[in-house]
């Protein structure tokens, strides 16, 4: 049924569930727009996430990895264990701040930076937040909340991020200097498409400045947790599976022994790294469920789905279903080797969704995870310690990790 809804009959189920409130500018982001406008936004943004564009941003991610290694070494000297969630959170924040907002920050070293403080205010949003409780428990209040301009996020937070994007766009438009990052790619797509629209009778619409701001913020919100969780769980799996870690280190030494060897093309050649990361995301998917809106009564595989019923795909359950995966609780990266991929159900691996509405940022998220792991494994090994929770404990909501404490030790010469 999942394959039928997300892929084969996507035209019937193209939309995610509405947010419930008009939380601007987030309503204008690709995650929330619907139908024809979603197709236009996706078409405009897709080239910015191509492989060739990812190559142009490897220097940004490598610079953030430099900071990551510096902080790992500092924390290693300070104590017996490292809280992975905190340090990977800083790394992820630095990457997204740089690629989507044009800012070079060091969030671990500068926790009082205005960007860091406002970002943490966003990530503190949980199901127990009064705003969320109000919207979830009393949905009939949404029209009133719209009139009062009350959404999931506080106005001062959205105002800050909008101001950052607006000022960066203005600065770049007034100078001839371009910084190759996601914000610049969205600006270029916006400008190019605007010119094409003026020269033709096409009804296609370019991104507005507000939509650039909205998508920068939504990619920040979505990308932060995905990458952080992916790195935490993968590090945990390496520490608890030393044979797999040794094999991955051997691959790192073969393909990328030094900083300058860590490139987009080199990482594409590392089959075991790719398989291991994919297996980690199967065992511990960052998103626990995927939703689709059902706007009219449909019959799928003989089952009637009434109009207005929310369709939910339980990603974690599907990733651990023995009818889809052999020995699903076992950590086996070999599942994702090229010779075994024909055994994988086409809709069995869903950490980034599937079909036309799958996560547009998949390449960037995987690149962040892989670059971070390679750079760390060039110098260190992960090992468990007395503070390591086995198995790991999930957070209060979804698949968010509560925290993973590991010990790192320098590799033997």
Residues at the binding site are 359
Inter-residue long-range contacts of 108-111, CB under 8 Å, 24+ positions, other chains counted: 108/67, 108/71, 109/67, 109/71
Q: Which parts are annotated binding residues for heme? A: 359
Run of H or E including 300: strand 298-300
- For residue 363, give every residue at least 6 positions away whose Cβ sits within 8 Å of its Cβ, in sequence order, or none: 49, 50, 51, 54
H-type helices in 138-208, by residue range? 142-147, 155-173, 182-199
- For residue 188, give every residue at least 6 positions away whose Cβ sits within 8 Å of its Cβ, in sequence order, or none: none
Q: How far apart are the C-alpha atoms of 23 and 251, rounded to whole Å?
A: 46
Q: Between the CA of residue 175 and those of 57, 80, 159, 178, 391, what are the distances in Å?
A: 21, 48, 24, 8, 52
Phi-psi region of 398 (alpha: psi -120 to 50; beta: other; left: phi over 0): left
Could you give the 3-state DSSP secondary structure of residue 353? coil
Number of H helices, E strands in the chain: 16, 7
CB atoms within 10 A of CB 213: 27
Question: Which tokens is 362 given?
Answer: 């998949």
H-type helices in 335-393, by residue range? 362-377
Run of H or E including 237: helix 209-240
Which of 14, 15, 24 has the alpha carbon at shortest distance from 218? 24
CB atoms within 10 A of CB 320: 15
């Amino acid at each position: 049924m999942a394959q039928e809804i997300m892929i084969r009959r996507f035209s019937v189920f193209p939309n995610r569930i509405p947010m419930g409130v008009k939380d601007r500018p987030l309503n204008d982001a690709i995650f929330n727009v619907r139908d024809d406008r979603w197709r236009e936004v996706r078409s405009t943004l897709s080239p910015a996430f191509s492989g060739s564009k990812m190559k142009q941003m490897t220097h940004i991610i490598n610079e953030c990895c430099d900071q990551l290694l510096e902080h790992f070494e500092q924390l290693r000297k300070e104590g017996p264990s490292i809280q992975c969630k905190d340090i990977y959170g800083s790394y992820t924040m630095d990457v997204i701040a740089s690629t989507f907002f044009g800012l070079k920050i060091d969030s671990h070293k500068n926790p009082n930076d205005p960007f860091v403080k406002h970002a943490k205010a966003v990530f503190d949003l949980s199901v127990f937040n009064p705003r969320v409780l109000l919207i979830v428990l009393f949905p009939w209040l949404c029209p009133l909340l719209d009139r009062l301009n009350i959404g999931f996020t506080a106005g001062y937070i959205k105002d800050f991020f909008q101001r950052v994007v607006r000022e960066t766009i203005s600065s770049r438009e007034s100078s001839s200097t371009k910084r190759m990052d996601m914000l610049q790619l969205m600006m270029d797509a916006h400008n190019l498409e605007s010119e094409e629209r003026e020269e033709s009778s096409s009804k296609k619409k370019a991104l507005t400045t507000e939509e650039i701001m909205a998508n920068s913020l939504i990619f920040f919100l979505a990308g932060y947790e995905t990458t952080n969780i992916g790195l935490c769980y993968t590090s945990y799996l390496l520490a608890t599976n030393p044979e797999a870690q040794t094999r991955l280190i051997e691959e790192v030494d073969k393909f990328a022994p030094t900083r300058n060897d860590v490139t987009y093309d080199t990482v594409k050649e590392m089959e075991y790294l790719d398989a291991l990361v994919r297996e980690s995301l199967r065992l511990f998917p960052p998103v626990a469920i995927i939703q689709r809106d059902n706007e009219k009564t449909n019959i799928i595989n003989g089952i009637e789905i009434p109009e207005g019923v929310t369709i939910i795909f339980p990603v974690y359950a599907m990733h651990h279903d023995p009818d889809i995966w052999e020995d699903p609780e076992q950590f086996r990266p070999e599942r994702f080797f090229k010779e075994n991929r024909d055994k994988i159900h086409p809709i069995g691996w869903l950490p980034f969704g599937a079909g036309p509405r799958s996560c547009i940022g998949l390449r960037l998220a995987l690149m962040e995870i892989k670059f971070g792991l390679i750079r760390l494994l060039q110098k260190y090994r992960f090992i468990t310690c007395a503070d390591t929770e086995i198995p790991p404990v999930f957070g209060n909501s979804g698949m968010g990790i509560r925290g993973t404490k590991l010990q790192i030790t320098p590799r033997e010469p």
